[in-house]
Amino acid sequence: MMTEYETRHAEKDQPSSSACPVCNTKAGSAFFDLRHVPVFCNVLWVEKTRAAGAAKGDVKLVCCEGCGLIYNAAFDASKVEYAPDYENALHFSQRFQIFAEQLAEGLIERHGLTGKTVAEIGCGDGYFLKQMVKAGACKGIGFDPSMERHDKRGFVGESVEIVPKAFQTGNLPTHFDLVICRHVLEHLRDPLGLLASIREAVGKRQSALYFEVPNTTWILESCSLWDFIYEHYTYWTRSTLGALFARAGFHVLETATGFGNQFVMIEADTSEHAEASVRAEADAKEQVTVCQRFGKAAKRHLDRWQHELGVFAGSGRKVAVWGAGSKGVTFVNAVPAALEAVACLVDLNPRKQGKFVAGSAHPILAPERLAELQPDVVIIPNALYEQEIGAELSKMGVEAELKTLQ
């Protein structure tokens, strides 16, 4: 008889046995692999040696032939159960703040939420709920088990309450008019299960839903392979997200893309029962082809960066990466030459500064430090921030060559 470890290990070596979490179709062959990447890109380490020893896992991407869903067939849910010192807040960027403000105002207007109650699953420190209250909602209640380790007093205002627990059907407030869930679905082992439990909690009442996830169509089209990270088990498109909501019994009002095409957003409600979309199955074949094309291009992309960083290291040019988010962390881990070529990562978020990147163990510094470091090359993982970063560098008197990862 196999031990639990051996069973898990055997499963990992046979990713084809891992079926689609939505339609249960047996996994086909993988179209792209990233081996030994950090399990948690956004967990930062105070000690360099511990950063280097951080847990790693494989990303083996398959596209479901039944429904077109893209997921990591080598995903081991037990590896991601507990994330210490999780730091994934996007709202330090001004561009993101503007996006969140406009989104909140739009939701309030479209769903008539002035004076109403909104709930958020995976609310983090409550930033977006505060935006919703500012835009007109009367109360926001959020669920996030990662808030358990924080000092709650800093997070609870008069109108925003954070429950430091995972969402469960029974802990939703008696009255709620909108359920928000941003950048959570892609982490879950059972995404359909979450939707089904919300559907059950809503029951016969009227409620709207707003979900937001990374836009996989954009990732594939722009060959942004750094967006495939271990923490994300599933990868959604407008088509597969719409089909999931329909499958769970929601009426899809709209699917859209936003934030420079990097997010997929869906708005749904309970106004009528919908059958699971058959369109998704027709789209699945096309999606498989798109994925295979991406796999080839992504391998070439990796090789090109390996070569380029090798040249920088050989010529003694100093390289810094601006942005210690998932993309930057995946980049310095996925390209072996980064170990020698990249001097540091910088990030605006003060909670990241002074810490070390999981896996590659690069230091993360405050952007101001670039004035003394005077790098020759600054790599920008997210092209959306190129202008913002370019302006900051000029202010500091840093004349570096800017390169974006896209």
Footprint on this chain of Zn ion (rule: CB under 5 A): 20, 22-23, 25, 64, 66-67, 69
Q: Which are the contacts of 129, defined by CB distance < 8 A and separation ≥ 6?
A: 118, 120, 123, 140, 141, 142, 160, 162, 180
Task: Compute the least distance from the CB of residue 47 to Zn ion, in Å.
Answer: 41
For residue 45, the 8-state DSSP code is B
Q: Considering the complex, state which of residue 66 and residue 336 has its C-beta at the smaller distance from Zn ion.
A: 66
Residue that is written with structure tokens 């205002």 in the block = 157
Count of other CB atoms within 10 angstroms of residue 255 = 19
Task: Compute the least distance from the CB of residue 69 to Zn ion, in Å.
Answer: 5
Question: Can you say whether the dihedral through the CA atoms of 21, 25, 26, 30 is positive or negative?
Answer: negative
Burial (CB count <10 Å: 0-12, 13-18, 19+), residue 285: exposed
Q: Considering the complex, state which of residue 239 and residue 360 has its C-beta at the smaller distance from Zn ion.
A: 239
Q: Which residues pair with 210 in a beta bridge?
A: 180, 267
Residue that is written with structure tokens 């893209």 in the block = 70
Q: Considering the complex, state which of residue 104 and residue 280 has its C-beta at the smaller distance from Zn ion.
A: 280
Residue that is written with structure tokens 């559907």 in the block = 199
Task: Compute the least distance from the CB of residue 261 to Zn ion, in Å.
Answer: 24
Task: Compute the least distance from the CB of residue 18 to Zn ion, in Å.
Answer: 12
Task: Compute the least distance from the CB of residue 74 to Zn ion, in Å.
Answer: 17
Q: Which are the contacts of 216, defined by CB distance < 8 A and separation ≥ 6?
A: 70, 235, 236, 237, 264
Q: Considering the complex, state which of residue 22 and residue 80 has its C-beta at the smaller distance from Zn ion.
A: 22
257: nearest Cα among 307, 214, 319: 214
Q: How far is CA 116 from CA 36, 131, 169, 178, 390, in A?
A: 46, 14, 20, 9, 41
Alpha helix (H) residue ranges in 113-178: 127-134
Task: Compute the least distance from the CB of residue 118 to Zn ion, in Å.
Answer: 31
Alpha helix (H) residue ranges in 168-278: 191-202, 216-221, 238-247
Q: Considering the complex, state which of residue 37 and residue 67 has its C-beta at the smaller distance from Zn ion.
A: 67
Task: Compute the least distance from the CB of residue 282 to Zn ion, in Å.
Answer: 13
Task: Compute the least distance from the CB of residue 64 to Zn ion, in Å.
Answer: 3
